[in-house]
Amino acid sequence: MEQYAIKGGNPLVGEVEIGGAKNAALAILAAAAMTEETVVIENVPDLRDTAAMLEAMESIGIRIEKLDRHTVKINAGMIESLVVEDDSIKKIRASYYFLGALLGKFKKAEVALPGGCNIGLRPIDQHIKGFRALGADVRIERGLVITEADRLVGSHIYLDVVTVGATINIMMAAAMAEGQTIIENAAKEPHVVDVANFLNSMGASIKGAGTDVIRIKGVKALHGTEYAIIPDQIEAGTFMFAAAVTRGDVTVKNVIPKHLESISAKLIEIGCEVEESDDAVRVVASKPLTHTHVKTLPYPGFPTDMQPQITVALGLSKGTSIVTESIFENRFKYVDELTRMGANIKVESNTAIIDGVQKYTGASLTAPDLRAGAALVTAALAAEGVSTIDDIKFIERGYEDFPEKLQSLGAQIEKVVTERELQKFRLKIG
């Protein structure tokens, strides 16, 4: 039994520091295998997913040294194997980044099929299409994606759908291909730009990241570098919505406000005040929340990873709201949990119709995936009474020190591992 015990009803007030971006860190760690020289990466979030990534890297002979909790020194000069099938890597989606990194550097890779949250079909067909366009043979055998090439040659690749993973994977493989590669209909997310900047700091020649056309001129070798990962826009957005649902006043620090514009815009739309400074955003929810409509879209649109968080907020807003999920087809599994707290939400296909209620009430909940789990925490913080949330391993995949950060804002939340600890929490909060 590992769960969060939460007593709701306290507005979150204060400042919280945002860590490094999980989605950028996982790709950047894999890309560090593309040079034989030493790489130092700062602002690496300390999460289950990053730990799994580092463990998998060590399993193939990459030397890892943690200089401190958030700084990692990596040397891939003595890689012993190009087969990545460590048990831990099978549990995370980002395992596929080893395909682009190892194919680019060694022209061969065998990597376990990706795992991660069950939020719907997430095919790797665009990754395979890109690798084949560069001249690689790709097949799936024994639960592994196997890709190899005598040589990689630059190509013109048009992605059928906007996909972050395939954009990054093709970018990594093409960084050491012969000639020029053009990726059209590329993803524009901040972590795509961060990976491109990291590769460029190692000597790659990548232009256009952050736009829908990326041009890559292949180089023969990459060199060592020191690099700091960007802040996590989804962690920041989660705390911003936690401020909204608890009627709080929270300043999220160490962020890039530009990356949060779609989130800030929706918070303003539903009645919050949002103040931006150079590296911080303050959210004040002093008025009742109002309804809105939102549709998830690739960046710079509203992120799919923020969809459960805004749904929790709209569940407490006046009027009827509509949330349309256009990225993943199985991302409303948490709605049943919210309904048990008193929410009035009806899901039809990829759309949730939300009639706002005055309050949520505490309940025993289960986190179905990473972002929905975090959203349920915010719902419990706003609820009347005590809630427990099981399967917090999902939440710990993407949020570092989540209970501690919330406690610093005045939340009554604790991680408990025994029934006795749960009873102790109940007694403490009266």
**What does the chain come to in residues?**
430
Q: Is beta strand 273-276 parallel, antiparallel or unpaired with respect to 71-75?
A: unpaired
117 tagged catalytic: yes
Q: How far apart are CA 253 and CA 404, in angstroms?
A: 16
Token pair listed for 231: 């802040």
* 3-state secondary structure string across the chain: CCEEEEECCCCCEEEEECCECHHHHHHHHHHHHHCCCEEEEECCCCCHHHHHHHHHHHHCCCEEEEEECCEEEEECCCCCCCEECCHHHHHCHHHHHHHHHHHHHHCEEEEECCCCCCCCCCCCHHHHHHHHHCCCEEEEECCEEEEECCCCECCEEECCCCCHHHHHHHHHHHCCCECEEEEECCCCCHHHHHHHHHHHHCCCEEECECECEEEEECCCCCCCEEEECCECHHHHHHHHHHHHHCCCEEEEECCCHHHHHHHHHHHHHCCCEEEECCCEEEEECCCCCECCEEEECCCCCECHHHHHHHHHHHCCCECEEEEECCCCCCCCCCHHHHHHCCCEEEEECCEEEEECCCCCECCEEECCCHHHHHHHHHHHHHCECEEEEECCHHHHCCCCCHHHHHHCCCCEEEEECCHHHHHHHHHHCC
What is the C-alpha to C-alpha distance for residues 344 and 406, in angstroms, rounded to an integer? Answer: 26
Q: What one-letter code names the amino acid at 136? A: A
Q: Which of 52, 56, 89, 117 is catalytic?
A: 117
- Tell which residue, 192, 196, 193, 155, has the closest CA to residue 177: 155
Query: Cα–Cα–Cα angle for 160, 161, 162, nearest 5°?
Result: 130
Active centre residues (catalytic): 117
